[in-house]
Amino acid sequence: MSDYQTLEITRDGAVMTIALNRPEKMNTFNTVLRREIAKAAIEADLDKTVRAVVLTGNGRAFSAGADLSDDDGMGDGKSVESDLNFEYKPGVLAIHNSSKPWIAVINGPCAGIAYSYAMACDLACMGESAYLYQPFSAIGLVPDGGATWLIPRLVGTKRAYELMALGEKLSADKALSMGMVNRVFPDETLRQDGIAFAQELAQRSPLALSHTKSAVNFGQSHNLDETISKEAALQSICIDSDDAKNAVISFFNKQKPVWQGH
């Protein structure tokens, strides 16, 4: 992948780790970071050797949100609207719409716009001392980056509104109990444990993972009738794939399947 100014990108087999890399600024989003994360997400999706992507932060924070010290950090209404539509939205959508599973590994604070990037991921892990924070009401603003779509689908509208209106710093244990994250790991081993979680995913059928993600996302905005038909169409693709046929042979031979993704 290309060189990045604000991201550190590493590989461990089929797992790619994209780390926000502005630790001196608590990984806040400036102009460069919000553009680079969209670019990196698209490149990861196009890389056929990548089967799972970890999103995390270097240093003591996942991200403290937008960089208000950046020239464009707190502009007028029109400039903020433009930034949200044309710079933040592409990155959030690239993660949400990716054909591959994304795992947020949340270390330390995850606040503001960063909350949306994390919740756009398919799965999430948190360190024991990490927290999620919607600070918008305290400064007279509206949650953005898709937060008002993403969070209600995880916790329901009443709990989502409470988190946004009161600006609770949501602990890892409470986030786990509410279904916002899948795992809580010790701070000291969070990155290692999060990558191991991603490695477990990467060992599954990439075709099945991709189409399952597609079906789940489809089901969020369609009725049961339409969703069953969507599943049927995707199942038709999967069952005719080389991977499914080889998996059946591997099962009877008591072997581990070798996935090709087609």
Which CATH number fits the domain 206-252, given the four candidates 1.20.58, 1.10.3470, 1.10.287, 1.10.12? 1.10.12
Domain positions in the chain are 7-202, 206-252
**The CATH fold of domain 7-202:** 2-enoyl-CoA Hydratase; Chain A, domain 1 (3.90.226)
Domains 7-202 and 206-252 fall in the same CATH topology: no
What is the reported pTM? 0.94
User: How far, in Å, CA of 212 to CA of 166, rounded?
Assistant: 35
Cβ contacts of 115 within 8 Å, gap of 6 or more: 65, 132, 133, 134, 143, 145, 147, 151
Question: pLDDT at position 207, please?
Answer: 94
Max Cα separation, the chain? 64
The pLDDT tens digits for 58-84 are: 999 999 999 988 755 556 788 899 999
Closest-CA residue to 163 (of 135, 183, 188): 135
Residue ranges in the chain modelled with pLDDT below 70: 1-2, 71-75
Cα–Cα distance, 147 to 156 (Å, whole number): 12
- HEC secondary structure over 87-110: HHHHHHHHHHCCCCCEEEEECCEE
